Every structure is written in C-alpha cells, then in structure tokens.
Amino acid sequence: MVELNGAETIAAEKIFGARLGIAERFVEHLATSGIERGLIGPREVPRLWSRHVLNCAVVTELIADGARVADVGSGAGLPGLTLALARPDLQVTLIEPLERRVTWLEEVVMDLGLDNVEIMRARAEQALGRVTCDVVTARAVSALDTLVGLTIPLLDGDGELLAIKGRSAQEELDKAAKAIRKLGGVQTSVVTAGVGILDEPTTVVRIRVSKR
C-alpha cells in the first residue's frame, strides 16, 4: 500500500472526493504492475501521489463540465486516468501507441470499473478523425513546438490544449508561437492548477484553438 502523508490526504480528498478509494487502487496498480512492466520507475513510488497523480488530477479544474478529453501519449494513464477518476462527468479517450501500455491500461480501467474511459491504440496522427474532443491533454510527450503539431489537429479547429509542463513552460510557449498560430491557436497562456491544494501547483500551457 502506498501511504498518503497528511498534506497528500487532504489534497486527495478534495480532488477525488468519494472516489478516493478508486484512486488509491490506481496508485497500487502503478506501484506494482506499473513498475513490473516498465511504465513507472521504482524510484517514483514514494512520489506517486505528489509528483504524478495529484499533480495531474488538479488539471480538472481547467476543464469544463461534460467535456470530451483526448489524452495523447497516455503511458501509465497520466494525466488521462487521473482526470477520469476525479471527474466522472468527463469522457476520456486514452491515446497510446505501445501495445504493452495499452494492455496495462485496459486491465486497470476494467479493474477500477471506469465507464467514462476509452482506450485507443494509436499515435496521435493516427487518431485524427477517429476521436472527437473538446480538450486535448499531454504530459511528458515532447517539447511544445513538436507537441502542438501532434495534438492541436485532434481538436478539429475548436477547443483547448492543456499541456502539463515544468519551469520552462513560457520558454517553450515562446518557441512554439509561430507553429501555434499556424495551427489555429488564438490564445495562449501559462497557468497553474491546484493553487491552495498542492504544495507545488501544476504548471500548464493552455492553448485555445478556434476557427473563428
């Protein structure tokens, strides 16, 4: 069992509410089969809650009610599965190209009984036309100037990209500005999620796309 410390418990209760028990089961999957199959490094176990699960789940505060979310390069379900856990009103599609990761995700989703999650084995460019979404999310996939070309087209001209980034977020955004405009990005910002909930709030690059 991966124990929550005091601050993590308070944050997890705020974020997951009645579904905290299911979130705890997800973390157990990460700490066991997730490590065995190479989705998570063993050194990450003490930081699974703070650095991975809570860090990702707070992004839900940036997502509208009932939104359709496509998570590109889901890997170990970060952030996609955490969003689906925290917000049962969201419809989340996990897009992941590697078969062993897809198999793991399918097993976890079935065990957790999540009916608001679909899993698609595909690269982002292969998912074009196969997924309908209002929001695209990504974490640790690639630098932003590459990532926007993989993710923004999935929005079909209208919606938002929420990319979890680190301290270099603004620098990456500046570097990708030309590509973003070319792809229909009309508004960009670096925002924080989880202020007042997490000791270290999550940095997110937010890009609004519109045909208008």
- Domains of the chain (ranges; CATH) run 58-209 (3.40.50.150)
| pTM: predicted TM-score of the whole model, two decimal places | 0.95
Mean pLDDT, rounded, for 162-179: 94
Q: What is the pLDDT of residue 212?
A: 67
Nearest to 79 by CA among 65, 92, 91, 88: 92
pLDDT tens sequence across 31-86: 999 999 999 999 988 889 988 999 999 999 999 999 999 999 999 999 999 999 99
pLDDT above 90 covers what percent of the chain?
88
Q: What whole-number distance in Å separates Cα of residue 76 and Cα of residue 81? A: 8
| Per-residue pLDDT, 8 | 87
pLDDT of residue 184: 93
Amino acid at 163: A
